[in-house]
């Protein structure tokens, strides 16, 4: 799967290519990243990519013409000609006004042909370029950043770990938060007794040492249900509506203190 990124700061993507499971995704070819430095598509001695906003006001706006030249180059390189109606990868722009990225959309993107990621800087992008070309505006949360590069990395990272052969253990992402619509249960490892400053110890929950796989699975499910009911009651409501809660789940939820409604 191939992602093309139009950005003023391609260097920001380099660490993602070099460390952790994402390095494996790129090294194996499961994920291809093509960086398109916007400055390369600027004109004139000053290589301008931004100009003052019409109507006045602070800051600068990313000009449409360099962006159009960059996008033409991306479409050419992807073999996505200008024929109208031809199938092509979506152009995604990152903005806090966009649709909130969630695991369902990450799964959809991981199953598709990739995307072209447009990373804004300054005050934003000339709206005419957005209106002409952008297929999807995505937000990663209700806060303002200095550019769209970190949201683009968030998307790449979330997609990379779903690609076949990227995670050590193919089953591990199926146990994650959100893969079943609930928050994750807590995790424990050695030592069994963790010394405290007061001379005592913090122990690992007994059931995890019991070797009873059925009891362990039930305990983990209940910890997921309890933390989700406490922190994200909206996710419990969604899991219930989707038929993802068993009778045992519902019985357990009734034993919890009442949570505020979603």
Q: Which is nearer to ligand 9WO, 41 or 129 (CB)?
A: 129
Give the integer Cα–Cα distance in Å for 125 and 93: 10
- The residue whose two tokens read 């909206």 is 234
Build a one-symbol-per-residue string for 23-62: x at contacts with ligand 9WO by CB under 6 A, - elsewhere: ----------------------------------------
Give the integer Cα–Cα distance in Å for 203 and 200: 10
Q: What minimum distance in Å lies between the beta carbon of 60 and ligand 9WO?
A: 10
Stretch that binds ligand 9WO, among 64-72, 147-155, 169-177, 205-213 (CB under 6 A): 147-155
- Determine, following the binding rule CB under 6 A, whether residue 66 of this chain makes contact with ligand 9WO: no
Q: Residue 81: which residues within 8 A CB-CB, separation 6 or more?
A: 75
Query: Are residues 110 and 162 in contact, defined by beta-carbon separation less than 8 angstroms?
Result: yes
**Which of 121, 161, 220, 249 is an active site residue?**
161
**Which of 176, 180, 184, 222 is an active site residue?**
176
Query: Are residues 227 and 185 in contact, defined by beta-carbon separation less than 8 angstroms?
Result: yes
Give the integer Cα–Cα distance in Å for 198 and 25: 45
Build a one-symbol-per-residue string for 89-118: x at contacts with ligand 9WO by CB under 6 A, - elsewhere: -----xxxx---------------------
Give the integer Cα–Cα distance in Å for 21 and 18: 9
Which residues are 145's β-sheet partners?
A: none
The DSSP letter of residue 27 is: H
> Does residue 96 carry a catalytic annotation?
yes
Q: Is 73 helix (H, G, I), strand (E, B) or coil?
A: helix
User: What is the helix (H) or strand (E) element at residue 235, kind and residue range?
Assistant: helix 233-241
Of 19, 82, 87, 144, the one binding ligand 9WO by CB under 6 A: 144
- Determine, following the binding rule CB under 6 A, whether residue 181 of this chain makes contact with ligand 9WO: no
> Does residue 180 carry a catalytic annotation?
no
Q: What minimum distance in Å lies between the beta carbon of 195 and ligand 9WO?
A: 41
**Which of 123, 137, 157, 184 is an active site residue?**
123
> Does residue 250 carry a catalytic annotation?
no
Query: Are residues 184 and 177 in contact, defined by beta-carbon separation less than 8 angstroms?
Result: yes
Give the integer Cα–Cα distance in Å for 139 and 94: 6
Build a one-symbol-per-residue string for 149-178: x at contacts with ligand 9WO by CB under 6 A, - elsewhere: --x---------------------------
The count of residues interacting with ligand 9WO (CB under 6 A) is 18
Q: Among all residues, whose Cβ is closest to ligand 9WO? A: 120
List contacts with ligand 9WO (CB under 6 A): 94-97, 120-122, 124, 139-141, 143-148, 151
The catalytic residue positions are 96, 123, 161, 176
């Amino acid at each position: 799967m191939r992602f093309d990124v139009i950005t003023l700061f391609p260097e920001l993507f380099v660490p993602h290519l070099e460390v952790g499971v994402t390095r494996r995704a790129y090294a194996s070819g499961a994920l291809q990243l093509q960086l398109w430095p916007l400055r390369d598509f600027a004109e004139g001695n000053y290589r301008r990519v931004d100009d003052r906003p019409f109507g006045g006001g602070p800051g600068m706006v990313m000009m449409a013409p360099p962006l159009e030249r960059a996008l033409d180059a991306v479409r050419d390189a992807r073999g996505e000609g200008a024929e109208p109606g031809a199938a092509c990868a979506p152009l995604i722009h990152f903005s806090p006004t966009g649709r909130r990225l969630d695991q369902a959309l990450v799964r959809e993107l991981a199953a598709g042909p990739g995307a072209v990621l447009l990373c804004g800087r300054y005050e934003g992008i000339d709206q005419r370029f957005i209106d002409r070309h952008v297929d999807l505006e995505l937000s990663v949360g209700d806060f303002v950043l200095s550019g769209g590069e970190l949201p683009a990395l968030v998307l790449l990272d979330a997609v990379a770990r779903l690609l076949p052969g990227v995670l050590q253990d193919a089953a591990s992402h199926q146990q994650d938060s959100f893969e079943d619509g609930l928050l994750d249960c807590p995790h424990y490892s050695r030592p069994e007794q963790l010394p405290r400053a007061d001379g005592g110890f913090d122990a690992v929950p007994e059931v995890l040492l019991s070797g009873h796989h059925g009891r362990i699975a039930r305990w983990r499910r209940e910890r997921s249900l309890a933390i989700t009911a406490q922190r994200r009651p909206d996710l419990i409501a969604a899991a219930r509506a989707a038929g993802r809660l068993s009778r045992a789940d519902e019985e357990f939820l009734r034993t919890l203190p009442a949570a505020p409604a979603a």
